[in-house]
Amino acid sequence: MDNCKYKEGNGCSGICCEGCGRMDSPLNTFDWLAGVPGNYEDTDIVEVQFKNTRKGYYKNSNAIPLKKGDVVAVEATPGHDIGTVTLTGRLVLLQLKKTRLTPESEFKRIYRKAKPVDMEKFAEAKAREHDTMIRSRQIAKDLELDMKIGDVEYQGDGLKAIFYYIADNRVDFRQLIKVLADVFKIKIEMKQIGARQEAGRIGGIGPCGRELCCATFTTNFVSVSTSAARFQDISLNPQKLAGQCAKLKCCLNYEVDAYVEASKGMPSRDIELETKDSTYYFFKADILNGLLTYSTDKYIAANLVTIPVKRASYIIEMNRRGERPDSLSAGGAEEKHSFDLLEQENINRFDNNSKNKRRKGGGKSGNRQQPNKSEQQQQTQPREEGSRNEHKHNGRRPKGGRHNANGASTKGNDDKK
């Protein structure tokens, strides 16, 4: 805490900067227990992250002083691997529950902090990943295998590589492993992943403007169905419901439980409401606000009326008893909504607001100060006296010519000149 440059009044209000990490790192976890006394004494297990979403848990048996962001060399088979420490202390025990591990499980060891020699080998291995992936795709195509190699990850020492592939059916890649081992002279490991996991490894920006959930915090991929979109009254448009992985968006499951809970007290959408004037059909529902909108036409929006759920349930009970209310609304005045479907597409819809602001006092003319009533009377009073003198002559103003203050015409003088 004493060496922390992010102290109170300098960016983080006293929170130790050891808990912060690189926000561009996928699956980043904020260590809110960093700097707490005794946090690092409870466990010697450390969370280490490798390329993209691959993480592992290793034992710090040598009691190396580690903190979040340190690059370490860890045990691998064969050789060693290079990763970044993403979490230490008590929160690691909570993260172990996600992977169904216990502190008594067997963990690989952390050898040391990465040396410059280790980083040079690591950089050389990472530089070969893209070319290896392109070459392996061509080899799989020559072997006529129905699979797609989406990513290749080299080990830190360059002795091993993990090939991540996608396949709809079971693939016999024994011959592929032999060919890849002969071409690249390394140990080959094949790992099958799904479309969602591939999108998480590649990363990207979603339609919401944020980084993909699968590349930031989502670790367990739950199946998503179209019923989640139906509960939330989302149009079943495949282009809008599908994510970058060509599957249904994971965020459809985020709020579906709240919508299901809120829709329990709503009446069935197939029930028609009978009034003395006409029959109303269900049009749409605002589930969270508890409002239902009905239309007099079954297929188009006509004479829309919005009522609360309690009012709709009350009318349904009346119809079951053979009674019909005067109108849908409780007060008798129906709340009808008339809307223009093309209003949102009109490019001039913003111009009307700006014109109204200018008329109310915006712009240059609006900045001028209006004179007081007393000033206006003083300005208009001389004009009124002059007009009275002009009309003194015979009660009428003579035709043509100019007049002086006494009302005499100056036309004759001008002619003499």
Q: What is the pLDDT of residue 177?
A: 93
Q: What is the pLDDT of residue 350?
A: 62
3-state secondary structure of 66: coil
**In angstroms, how far is the first alpha carbon of the chain from the final one?**
101
Place of tokens 């172990």: 96
Contacts of 285 (CB under 8 A, 6+ apart): 233, 263, 266, 269, 291, 292, 293
Distance CA 60, CA 109 (A): 6
Greatest CA span in the chain, whole angstroms?
Answer: 126
Is residue 83 within 8 A of residue 50, CB to CB? The reply is yes
Q: What is the pLDDT of residue 346?
A: 64
Place of tokens 């919401």: 208
Distance CA 290, CA 313 (A): 12
Is residue 229 within 8 A of residue 252, CB to CB? The reply is yes
Starting at the earlier edge strand, list the strands of the sheet with 305-308.
Answer: 273-274, 279-286, 291-295, 305-308
Q: What are phi and psi of 329, to 5 degrees?
A: -75, 155
Q: What is the DSSP letter of 326?
A: S
Tokens at 193, concatenated: 């992943």
Q: What is the pLDDT of residue 298?
A: 85
Cis bond upstream, residue 78 (ω within 30): yes
Q: What is the pLDDT of residue 358?
A: 56
Say how many residues make up the chain. 417
Distance CA 196, CA 210 (A): 17
Distance CA 403, CA 374 (A): 30
Distance CA 293, CA 301 (A): 10
Helix axes 116-127, 129-142, angle to 10 degrees: 40
Starting at the earlier edge strand, list the strands of the sheet with 160-166.
Answer: 148-154, 160-166, 187-192
Q: By C-alpha distance, which of 148, 129, 251 is closest to 194?
A: 148
pLDDT tens per residue, the chain (417 residues)? 344 444 444 444 444 555 555 544 556 677 777 767 766 667 889 999 888 778 889 998 888 888 888 899 999 988 899 999 988 888 888 888 878 888 888 899 999 999 999 999 999 999 999 999 999 999 999 999 999 998 899 999 889 999 999 998 888 889 999 999 999 999 999 999 888 888 888 888 888 888 888 888 877 788 898 899 988 888 888 888 998 888 899 999 999 999 998 888 888 888 889 888 889 999 988 888 889 999 988 888 888 889 999 999 999 999 999 888 888 887 644 444 445 555 556 666 666 665 555 555 544 444 444 444 444 444 444 444 444 444 444 444 444 444 444 444 444 444 443
Contacts of 226 (CB under 8 A, 6+ apart): 236, 241, 248
Quickly list DSSP for 355-413: HHHHHHT-HHHHTSPPPPHHHHHHHHHHHHHHHHHHTTGGGSPPSSS-B-TTS-B-HHH
